[in-house]
Amino acid sequence: MDSVFKALADPTRRDLLDKLFKEDGQTLNALEAGFDMTRFGISKHLKILEEAGLVVARKQGREKLHFLNPVPIRLIHDRWVSKYAEPWAAALSDLKSRLESPMEKIFEIYIKTTPERLWEAITNSEIRSKYSFGMRLESDWTPGSRFVMASDGGAPLGEGENLEVDPPRRLVQSMRALWGEDVKAEGTSRVTWEIEPVGDDSCHLTVTHDQLREGANDQLYGGWPMILSGLKTWLETGEKLTTPGSLLYT
């Protein structure tokens, strides 16, 4: 977490995060506009933000786009806020809400586990309920098959189709939320899970939630930082998060 605090300590880097909050998925040319700094200087700041996991860079054609990743902020919140002071909670909650813009969202996290164990945690209904607001996810996990999200004995809270199933590397799903009339009206979006081994004992997990309309209800994607924080916590410690909302449907 030291790298996150270091990255956030610099006002230029905070301004870059603010620019990505206002418009996610920007090029270097777009981001350097308005700064009294060379292109090289902005690139150095972006590299520090990427190393801290606060920014994710992705090639799109000939351009390199930069996306905000709020997961490290969520991890700081989960580790420190409940232990210390309410003013911290208010400040981090405000920052969290500012980071969650209604555009294509990319989240990444590093977890000390194997690809096989991470895949099991994503696709096993019992394990899924431990970090995904208490919701189970039932499917036979074949390409083109259906999945349903629900709490124990409750009505479906979400549904979709498994578009690509490539264990233990990649899972692509369509998703339609059903927990309220407001999110039902948003229709279908897409979630992509990508697992990359790192070293001998860790994984880099990237979750991309896209095909969201501009201005989509933030209930559709706002819970990802808490879900991924809970996934990391469970795989590395065997414990469940008890932060507000993390066990909503248990």
Instruction: List per-residue pLDDT tens for the chain, 250 residues long.
Output: 678 888 888 889 988 998 888 888 889 989 988 788 888 899 999 999 999 989 999 888 888 999 988 878 777 666 665 555 445 445 544 444 444 444 588 999 999 999 999 999 999 999 999 999 889 999 999 999 999 999 887 889 999 999 999 999 999 999 999 999 999 999 999 999 999 999 999 999 999 999 888 888 888 888 899 899 999 999 999 998 877 666 666 6
**What span, in angstroms and rounded, lies between the C-alpha atoms of 227 and 234?**
11
Task: Tell me if 102 sits within 8 A of 109, measured CB to CB.
Answer: no
**What span, in angstroms and rounded, lies between the C-alpha atoms of 8 and 14?**
6
Q: Which helix (H) or strand (E) holds 205?
A: strand 202-210
pLDDT of residue 72: 82
**What span, in angstroms and rounded, lies between the C-alpha atoms of 111 and 207?**
13
Instruction: Reduce the DSSP state of residue 122 to 3 states and report it.
Output: helix
pLDDT of residue 247: 66
**What span, in angstroms and rounded, lies between the C-alpha atoms of 43 and 83?**
36
**What span, in angstroms and rounded, lies between the C-alpha atoms of 145 and 162?**
5
- Token pair of 95 as six digits: 């920052």
**What span, in angstroms and rounded, lies between the C-alpha atoms of 150 and 249?**
9
pLDDT of residue 99: 46
Query: Which sign does the torsion angle of CA 242, 210, 151, 110 carry?
Result: negative
Please name the residues in contact with 194: beta carbons below 8 A apart, sequence gap of 6 or more.
169, 170, 205, 206, 207, 208
pLDDT of residue 245: 65
Q: How many residues does the chain have?
A: 250
